[in-house]
A and B are shown apart, each in its own frame.
Chain A
Amino acid sequence: MFHRSWVPRKPYKADAWGMETAVKARGLTKRYGDVRAVGGIDLDIHAGEVFAILGPNGAGKSTTVEILEGHRTRDAGEVSVLGVDPGRPTRGWRARIGIVLQTANDMTEATVGETVRHFAGYYPAPRDPDEVIERVGLTENVNRRVRQLSGGQRRRLDVALGVIGDPELLFLDEPTTGFDPEARRRFWELIRDLAGQGTTIVLTTHYLDEAEALASRVAVVAGGRIVAEGEPATLGGRASAKARVSWSEGGERRALETETPTGTVIELTRRFDGEVPDLTVTRPTLEETYLRLVTLPEVTP
């Protein structure tokens, strides 16, 4: 069997929308009975980018992603994923996307190697199983049963199964929930690595630092709608928000909110004739911005 080796893929061909768009959604809507889970979401995810969807539990992010994955039907709206309507998934389309689900505790008695090789058989042009296992750092565990893996190792196996078919687009649903900090860092390296090979990645997460570390763009979902979208550094007017300059003076901590922090620092430098004691200049963290966004007054349906 021939396997695609782990090399950067060629850029996408422009799809029917005329752009290198991996995911496009307009007016995506989903209700469960009387509950509106998704209330008109628009998305444009470009080929090759890492796109994070942030939001509190029940905000509609998992529903949105499951509609994009073809796991759930939608009530209304136009959706295209790799040029195909995920409401009518085909086998060929399934071969082009990879999905890492939120929780899984299946296949406990198979070994890592058997599992990855078995799943490789589902795809028309899979990656080399041994190479994938090495990429996710499970080479030493290749002969271990899945049930013997730690939580982090189990998750990396899920990623291995998500990428074994050499997908153009990979969905990761809260991939690092329950990880210790070191395992998360290692996991991030893996995701950056995949993104570096040209795989488009759609990631949902609770963790702001995760979105900031990995994503080129983020969308914040609250109450079934996108309340902000952009680069992590500028999200929700974060970059242009007032900066907080603080320093120590006369044994006291002093602080100033200003739109011109550079001017303030120059002024302080003059005043202290050199080094300003304990000087810090900060903007709102992504977390502060996020919390402000998701606690905005409820949008009316």
Chain B
Amino acid sequence: MTEVPVPKDAVPAADDLVVLKDVNKHFGALHVLQDINLSIGRGEVVVVIGPSGSGKSTLCRAVNRLETIDSGLITIDGKPLPQEGKELARLRADVGMVFQSFNLFAHKTVLENVTLGQVKVRKAGKKAAEERARSLLDRVGVGSQADKYPAQLSGGQQQRVAIARALAMEPKVMLFDEPTSALDPEMINEVLEVMQQLARDGMTMVVVTHEMGFARSAANRVVFMADGRIVEQATPDQFFSNPRSDRAKDFLSKILHH
């Protein structure tokens, strides 16, 4: 892979694509999101890290309203998230989502998985959708698997198909909810490489992950969460070499010293 220099500025651009303002959410007595304020600029790659149960997955899922919030405001490209319904469906089409457990449609072939959204949601022609799907599948390196069913693919291949499926909708922003956590170690890299390429191509990305290597190399900004709060935000260099908060220092000392 060729290295393309990425601008690494921790300051959010004036042109914010995703904005979370004073967001709060409870699961029963548990306060999973506490006064979250976060802006993600166009073309920015934000990696969210933190211990389990810190609310980072919930944060990611709240952005396309797979989780509802109790209070606060989330806007995407200037528009607040609407209530459940056609309006929300339209907005979700612009937000790509990649899940930990892939969630490919089990009864559809790989190709159908990537064309379905284009045809049914974007109302694209079947032929154009297939062409686009095949080029995306080639791009993520699973072009030869187009006619197989998801269960016949390895985890890494499935996750790359899931990325292609999301990209087929031409999203404004891509959300990754622990995309490599369910993968065998040797398959993690093939998925991360696709994500890194995507980051270099200028896609706006929010990535919840435990892959510190990816955070270091691809992120413009690292957001560290613990106990439902954003504890620290910094460039990857700053964060990994010189974390400010004790919570982050403690977290890093546990995961980096092996």
B and A form one assembly: no
